Amino acid sequence: MKTVSVKPADVKKQWTVVDASDKTLGRLATEVARVLRGKHKPDFTPHIDGGDYVVVVNANKVKLSGGKMTDKFYHHHTGHVGGIKAIAARDLLASKPERLVAAAIKGMLPKSKLGRKICSNLHVYAGAEHPHKAQNPVAMPTR
């Protein structure tokens, strides 16, 4: 038996679309991160970007369990002294739902150059429309 390592030129990427309506944010993020990373393919290679492109639609209809809507905060820094800002998940979902979903998925990817490259294969949209119809995305199979 030989271990087969896939080369970057041999990777076949597909486009996948995921509807986030009435799905829990964490459970949705784990499934999307799995497809982005390529772990659903039999020829998964950890150091290669072998995953698919993922389009997440209806990000504004995602749900959070428990009291996370009010208790969970997202922080960012403006770059100025004392410039740390925090926003509750409820407010972020109302104003920029794409950022909420993308942050959850990005947190489940590797923290390296590869993880940042894989994150560029993710496209999140608040509504049901997306500009990737020409790529003929297929619906992501549920586990």
Whole-number pLDDT of residue 97: 97
Whole-number pLDDT of residue 143: 65
In order of 14, 30, 87, 88, 139, the CA distances from 76 in angstroms are 33, 23, 9, 12, 33
Give tens-digit pLDDT for 114-143: 999 999 999 999 999 999 999 999 998 766
Indicate whether 44 pLDDT > 90: yes
Give tens-digit pLDDT for 72-113: 999 999 999 999 999 999 999 999 999 999 999 999 999 999
Could you tell me the CATH number of the domain that includes residue 59?
3.90.1180.10
In a domain, 46, yes or no: yes
**Number of structural domains in the chain:** 1
In a domain, 72, yes or no: no
| Residue-averaged pLDDT of the chain | 95
Name, in order, each residue with C-beta under 8 angstroms of 96's C-beta and a sequence gap of 6 or more: none
67, two tokens: 């009291």
In a domain, 87, yes or no: no
3-class SS of residue 110: coil
Whole-number pLDDT of residue 38: 95
In a domain, 108, yes or no: yes
Angle subtended by helix axes 25-37 and 97-106, to nearest 10: 60
- Identify the domain containing residue 116 by its residue range: 12-64+96-139
In a domain, 28, yes or no: yes
In a domain, 129, yes or no: yes
In a domain, 89, yes or no: no
Whole-number pLDDT of residue 5: 87
In a domain, 73, yes or no: no
57, two tokens: 């639609």
